């Protein structure tokens, strides 16, 4: 198959929602509590050898809490790329504070994309484009849309890229 016959690369970008950022911020604040509870509140001399386990626990919780707060403030972005030339779907996740990770899924392991309607308790329903992947219990979420027509159009574009590669 020549490069002229390959469909264009599909790219989907997602940023952290306000609700997710709020949840991560609350989790970060909760992680700061052990530092206060183990080192500041007891009123004992914290520079004793017997307090070493408390220091280790407190510093670990403090580091986790600060990382979660940074994630809440800076956010995490996710990019899904369907690359027909490589025959794979690439998931890239990145945070502005240095964490990065990636997952690759070959087109041969992907099923056909589907549109799932999700009803939110405090707002209108939204539609998720998901794609099953061999070896995974839950399908991979590609993108969310406020209307079903846009979600179905995205699912059809994904199907076309995967089907075109298989030929």
Higher pLDDT, 8 or 166: 8
Domain containing residue 30: 22-74
Higher pLDDT, 76 or 58: 58
- For the cut 50, the answer to whether the pLDDT of residue 63 exceeds it is yes
pLDDT for residue 36:
80
- Asked if 37 and 65 count as a contact pair (C-beta separation under 8 A), the reply is no
pLDDT for residue 25:
92
Q: What is the pTM of this model?
A: 0.63
Instruction: Provide long-range contacts, Cβ within 8 A and 24+ apart, for 127-134.
Output: 127/151, 129/154, 129/155, 129/158, 131/89, 131/158, 133/105, 133/109, 134/109, 134/110
Number of domains comprising the chain: 2
47 with 109, same domain?
A: no
Q: Of 29, 24, 114, 34, give the one whose Cα is nearest residue 71.
A: 24
Q: Can you give the CATH number for the domain in which 94 is found?
A: 2.30.29
- The predicted-structure confidence for 100-121, as pLDDT tens digits, reads as follows 778 888 888 888 888 988 877 6
- The predicted-structure confidence for 143-163, as pLDDT tens digits, reads as follows 888 888 988 998 898 888 888
Does 88 fall in a domain? Answer: yes
88 with 160, same domain?
A: yes
Question: What pairs with residue 121 in β-bridges?
Answer: none
- How long a stretch of residues is the chain? 167
pLDDT for residue 54:
81
Q: Is 115 helix (H, G, I), strand (E, B) or coil?
A: strand
Does 5 fall in a domain? Answer: no
pLDDT for residue 26:
94
58 with 135, same domain?
A: no
- Segment holding 72, helix H or strand E: helix 52-74
Does 61 fall in a domain? Answer: yes
């Amino acid at each position: 198959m020549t490069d002229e016959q390959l469909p264009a690369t599909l790219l989907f970008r997602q940023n952290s929602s306000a609700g997710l950022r709020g949840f991560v911020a609350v989790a970060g604040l909760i992680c700061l509590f052990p530092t206060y509870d183990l080192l500041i509140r007891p009123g004992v001399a914290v520079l004793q050898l017997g307090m070493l386990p408390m220091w280790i626990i407190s510093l670990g919780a403090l580091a986790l809490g600060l990382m979660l707060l940074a994630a809440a403030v800076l956010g995490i972005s996710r990019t899904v790329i369907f690359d027909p030339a490589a025959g794979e779907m690439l998931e890239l996740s990145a945070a502005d504070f240095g964490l990065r990770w990636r997952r690759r899924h070959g087109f041969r392991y992907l099923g056909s994309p589907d549109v799932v309607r999700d009803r939110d308790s405090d707002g209108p329903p939204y539609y998720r484009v998901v794609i099953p992947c061999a070896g995974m219990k839950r399908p991979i979420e590609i993108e969310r849309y406020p209307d079903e027509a846009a979600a179905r159009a995205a699912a059809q574009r994904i199907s076309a890229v995967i089907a075109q590669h298989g030929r």
